[in-house]
Amino acid sequence: MKKVFLDTNIVIDLLEKREPFFNVAAKIFSLADNQVIELYCSALSIANIYYILFRNKTNDDAYEILNELMEFMNILSFSEKTIKLSLQNRSFLDFEDAIQHSTAVDNQMDVIVTRNTNDFKAATIPVMTSNEIVKYFEN
């Protein structure tokens, strides 16, 4: 089963029902629910997702949503090593993207899925959009 690392934006597309991205994000989670793929995200993503959820929801609601999310996803921690690698990798313009990439590489992910593939031009593992990953597994 493919280990799919989701960038924060894909998860937020699902949880916030952002259009026009919601349907394809829901399909990715459906693939995981049907055990076609395994979904992963970083602990950094969870912190960012909580922050975004809390803007429009109560604290209890945000916690409940994150608990439900964890039924579909594995959360990957990152270490001092990950941060040091991210700091050394000047190919990424955004430090957060460098951390996401290093976390995915350290945990031997098969692919990173993001809406912003340009942010991952320096990636050393495959990067796909949400549409590309859904098409890949639907065929």
Each residue of 23-38: pLDDT tens digit?
A: 999 999 999 999 999 9
pTM for the structure as a whole: 0.94
The three-state (H, E, C) secondary structure of the chain, written as one string = CEEEEECHHHHHHHHCCCCCCHHHHHHHHHHHHCCCEEEEEEHHHHHHHHHHHHHHCCHHHHHHHHHHHCCCEEEECCCHHHHHHHHHCCCCCCHHHHHHHHHHHHCCCCEEECCCHHHHCCCCCCEECHHHHHHHHHC
Q: How many CB atoms lie within 10 A of CB 105?
A: 17
What is the count of structural domains for the chain?
1
CATH number of the domain that 35 lies in?
3.40.50.1010
| Residue-number span of the structural domain to which 11 is assigned | 2-138
pLDDT of 77 reads 93
pLDDT for the residue numbered 91: 86
Overall average pLDDT of the 66-73 stretch = 93
